[in-house]
């Protein structure tokens, strides 16, 4: 995915263990190396995964990913939706504007 540079977005890659439709909380300090003044999350996408498949050989899929930030606490919550109720390690790219 190509993003125009003038948008001022920064991409941060984070490895998480995600469970279907369950939020994973991340500290902005751990992601950004310090808490910037009121960062805004503009998107999230899964860029790497090894999901496997079910007993019938049907591969699991990522249906969606979302990230939100609570500016009062500095907590970013990432939620991944899979095609089944599974838990997997994934790498997400979070788009943040500081």
Backbone angles phi, psi at 28, to 5 degrees: -65, -30
Per-residue pLDDT at 18? 94
Backbone angles phi, psi at 48, to 5 degrees: -145, 140
Q: What is the pTM of this model?
A: 0.83
Burial of residue 55, with CB atoms counted within 10 A of its CB: 0-12 exposed, 13-18 middle, 19 or more buried: exposed
Checking DSSP bridges between strand 10-19 and strand 87-97, what pairing results, if any?
antiparallel
The pLDDT profile of the chain, 98 residues, written as one tens digit per residue, is 555 555 778 888 999 999 999 999 987 766 666 555 678 899 999 998 899 999 999 999 999 999 999 888 888 999 999 999 999 999 999 998 87
CA–CA separation, 65 vs 44, rounded Å?
Answer: 6
């Amino acid at each position: 995915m190509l993003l125009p540079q003038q948008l001022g977005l920064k991409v941060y890659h984070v490895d998480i263990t995600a469970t279907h439709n369950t939020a994973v909380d991340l500290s902005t300090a751990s992601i950004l190396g310090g808490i910037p003044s009121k960062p805004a999350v503009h998107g999230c996408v899964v860029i790497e995964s090894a999901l496997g498949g079910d007993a019938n050989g049907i591969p699991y899929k990522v249906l969606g990913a979302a990230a939100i930030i609570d500016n009062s606490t500095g907590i970013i919550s990432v939620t991944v939706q899979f095609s089944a109720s599974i838990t997997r390690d994934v790498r997400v790219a979070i788009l943040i504007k500081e």
